[in-house]
Each structure stands twice: as C-alpha cells, then as structure tokens.
Amino acid sequence: MSMKIRTLSLFTGGGGLDLGFSAAGFSIDLAIELDPYSCKTLEINENKKDFYNKTKVLNKDIKKVTTKEIKKEIGLENNSDKIDLIIGGPPCQAFSVFGKRCGLDDPRGNLIWDYLRIVKELKPAVFIFENVAGLKTIHNGELYIKLIEELSCDGLYTVSDHNYEVANYGIPQFRNRIFFIGVKDGRRIPPMIQTHGEDGSLFELSPYVTVGKVLRNLPEPGNQSNLHNHKGRLHSNRIIDRYKNLKYGERDSKTRINKLNPNRPSYTIIVGSDKGGGKGHVHPYTPREVTPRESARLQTFPDWWEFYGNGRHVIRQVGNAVPPLFAGLLAAHVKKHVFHEKQIPSYDDLINTLGLDFLK
C-alpha cells in the first residue's frame, strides 16, 4: 500500500506543482499563497477529483506566516507527526532571463530566504525548490553557490540540482527550469531520464508533443464555448492582418510574440510584467493570440481545472506554474528515489489521472 506523504506547498500560485504531486499520490495538507485570485482557483477546484480533495488554502504573505501557525493549520501542534515534504518555487521574475535579473536586490528574490526559514524550522524529510534556470548565472554564479550552501541547512540536507527542459519529458512547451531536491539521509537524487526529443533522434526517444496535437478539436473562443477561460482578446484589423502574414516561428514586431508552429512544442508561456498581464503566443492557424485555456493546455492543465479571475489574472497563474504533468513525473521520481515506493505512476497513468485527454 502506498504511504501517505504529507506535503506543504509554498508559493502555490495556480496549482501546477500541487496538481501534479496530488495526481502522483501525495497529500497536499496545506497550500500557502499571497495572491487571492490563485487562492480562489485552488478553492473552486477542490473536490472535483478524488485525488485533489483535501488541501487547505492559506491566503497570506509568507513573510508573516510562522511555522507554529502552519502546524496549527494542519493539526501538528499537539503530536509528533511531521511534514514529509515541502514543495514550492518563490517568485522567479527576479532571476528570469526575461526580466531585469536584479536577484537579491529585488524584493521578490528575497522570498527565497522565507522558503529556507520554513524548511529549517520544520525539517521535512525532503524539500523541492523550483526556479528559473537563470538563477544559476545571476551575480556571476554567486547566488547559486550561496543558495546551495544555505539549502544544505548546515549539512542537514544533501542537495541535488537538475536543469530540466520540460519538452524533453512529453510536455508540449519549451520551458527550462531548475529543481533543487534536498534529502536528509545523505543521498543525491539522480536526474530523470529524458523520454522525448526531435523526430529521428539517434536515441530511442518518443517525438516531441506538439502544439497541433494539444490544440486540435478545440472550438474557436466565444460565448458558445463551455470551456473555462476560453475567451480571447479582441484584435484590430491591423493586428489581424499582421498575424496572418507571420510565418511559423516568426515574431510580431509590435506585440513581440511568436506564431506557434503546430509541428513543434510551444514557446515558453510567459506572464508579462507586474504592470500588466502576459500575452499568449499567436495561434498557428487563426490570426489571433491563443486564449488562456489554450495556454493552459500547453502547460498541461486539464480542461476541468478552472482559473479564477479575468484574462490578466489567469495568464499570470498559468505562466507562473510548473506544468502539472511534469510535476507528476517529478513526484513519481521522488517517490521512487526518496520514499522507496516500487509502484509509481507512469506518463500515461498521469495523463489518465489528470484527465489530459488532449494528449492521447
């Protein structure tokens, strides 16, 4: 029988990590998130599926959350039970290659130390820290070296870090992220083995999952669609004409977004700046930007997962997330190498559990 792995989620956002880990059998006891729209998203999806039905959501600034409060919220204050796993990715804009790369000079960058504070005080068996790959190079690599040292918590944890291009694992999007995994018992966690790649690869890899596969059979956005968050931006005729003339992979000079190639994974879904929401990329067949729901599919969020808020709020939740399917694969990897479970879900198992019919 699979053990109950009690998990605390920090900086939860729209729920990508939580959804994937839940689908892989983890118990997300508490999710802490500052953004009220993201919290509402987590709440309205509660109990829609058997595997995601026990999470408690705390809408609060992480800087004001104490570990005493966390224990009280999940009923640990009066017994010897412990949190087994902490997952989360502090806001990454301070380290992103798309941003100004201010690092620890950016207030968002300093939230790293609040993640560390909670890890050091709760001392879970394992933690997973996700961020953009640019974190490794900012400040000439000094931040990365300092972070590895701090994550070890004075030698309590052995920290493995791996860069993953999620398209190499069957996700229909190019998205490069780094994952730090800290384990108490001194073991280093091996990287996941790549499963997908270019057609005709010398290795025995499955072909990339493409934009065309994911977006097929979707109705055009509008009032007739019953899909959540499938309402697009209104474009002027001038923009429509520009989008019509774009070739696959070409960037529009004004909106600075690319036309998706139906035979390739998507470009990275981005969130925009703090002053405004991000845009979807240009649809491969229709001269318009993809809708938030189409972006969510490219992130492997199932269609039943409803995002709360208007288009700007939704695309920020989608763009900030770890793709749930990739999160599930990582969770299965952790189950095997940290918690020694023999029966772990496969790629196809996770597709079925999450309800990602558009990937079949």
Q: Is residue 174 part of a domain?
A: yes
Kindly state whether residue 35 falls inside one of the protein's structural domains. Answer: yes
Task: Give the range of the structural domain holding residue 62, as residue numbers without chain letter.
Answer: 6-198+323-359
Instruction: Say whether 92 is catalytic.
Output: yes
- Count: domains in the chain: 1
Residue 187 lies in a domain: yes
Distance between CA atoms of 241 and 252, rounded to whole angstroms? 11
Instruction: Classify strands 85-88 and 6-10 as parallel, antiparallel or unpaired.
Output: parallel
Within a domain: 81: yes
Q: What is the pLDDT of residue 65?
A: 96
The residue with greater pLDDT, 26 or 276, is: 26
- The pLDDT confidence band at residue 169, using thresholds 50, 70 and 90, is very high
Q: How confident is the model at residue 133 (pLDDT cuts 50, 70, 90)?
A: confident
Mean pLDDT, the chain, whole residue set? 89
Who contacts 204 (Cβ-Cβ below 8 Å, separation ≥6)? none
Checking if the pLDDT of 80 tops 70, the result is: no
SS3 assignment, position 254 = coil
Residue 150: pLDDT band (50, 70, 90) is confident
Residue 210 placed within a domain? no
pLDDT tens track for 26-75: 999 999 999 999 999 999 999 899 999 878 999 999 999 999 999 999 98
Of 39, 92, 102, 153, the active-site residue reads: 92
Using CB atoms within 10 Å of the CB of residue 114, give its burial: 0 to 12 exposed, 13 to 18 middle, 19+ buried. middle
Examine the pLDDT at 271 and tell me if it is beyond 80.
no
Helix axes 142-151, 111-122, angle to 10 degrees: 20
92-101, 134-143, 227-236, 315-324: segment of lowest average pLDDT: 92-101
| Per-residue confidence (pLDDT) for residue 92, from 0 to 100 | 54
The residue that leads in pLDDT, 298 or 100, is: 298
Residue 207 lies in a domain: no
Residue 164, pLDDT above cutoff 60: yes
- If pLDDT is split at 50, 70 and 90, which confidence band does 103 have? very low
84-93 pLDDT, tens digit each: 999 998 875 5
Looking at residue 98, its pLDDT comes to 42
Q: What is the pLDDT of residue 1?
A: 46
Q: Which CATH number is 332's domain given?
A: 3.40.50.150
pLDDT tier, 99 (very low <50, low <70, confident <90, very high otherwise): very low
Helices (H), 237-310: 237-245, 292-298
> Is residue 10 situated within a structural domain?
yes
| Confidence grade of residue 232 (pLDDT, cut at 50, 70, 90) | confident
Is the confidence at residue 308, as pLDDT, over 70? yes
Whether 222 is covered by a domain: the verdict is no
Q: What is the CA radius of gyration of the chain?
A: 20
> Which residues of 77-155 form beta strands (DSSP E)?
85-88, 126-132
User: Which residue would you say has higher pLDDT here, 89 or 303?
Assistant: 303
